[in-house]
Structure 1
Amino acid sequence: MPAKHDGFKDFILDQLTDLHHVTCRAMFGGYGLYQKATFFGIIHKGRLYFKVTATTVPNYKEHGMKPFRPNAKQTLTSFYEVPIDVIEDVEALTQWAAEAAER
């Protein structure tokens, strides 16, 4: 069966071109984003989520963003949705992704 085309995933990967060593793997009905071996992002149902820390989560909350909820019974507070204005700004998205991928 041929791989399903996902325009949003392709757009995100294109936006992250300046962040070196980014790969994408299918997982849980969406995609996991990795920089080298570090898992830092999730693409799920047309939305992008990045791993957050105590230092970075306020940036997401200031934009009114919420944690990743793959289903009604599960919430992953270590991943927050990335605001659309950040997704559309290559430099901002690259910076947010780099922060999410820091070890």
Structure 2
Amino acid sequence: MGYIAPITQFEYIQYANRTIEAERKPRIVDGTTPIQLIRFDQVLEDETKRSEKFDQFTNMNQDVSSGTGRYKNHLIMKAHEEIQVEMTGKGGYVNEMA
């Protein structure tokens, strides 16, 4: 003897509609799309550009902190954090209050 689970009329109608549609529209796979080739040298070039940009802002931050205004230093630190978030993918949604 088995247990028959309670099924609502709404679930039964959904099931009936799915089975009727499946009978009308057989799924036929026509083919697959070709995979795009990724050139290693292109990826390497993009990564080196990002790291150069990161290094540029790091060096600029060291020069600016030696004697210029606080606001300018804050802008450079903000740009540094944005680049770091872009490169690592971490820390982009942290809201920090001082």
Calculate the TM-score normalised by the size of structure 1. 0.20
Instruction: Give the number of the structure with larger relative contact order, counting CA–CA contacts within 8 Å between residues 6 or more apart.
Output: 1
Calculate the TM-score normalised by the size of structure 2. 0.21
Larger radius of gyration: 2
The structure that is strand-richer by fraction is 1
The structure that is helix-richer by fraction is 2
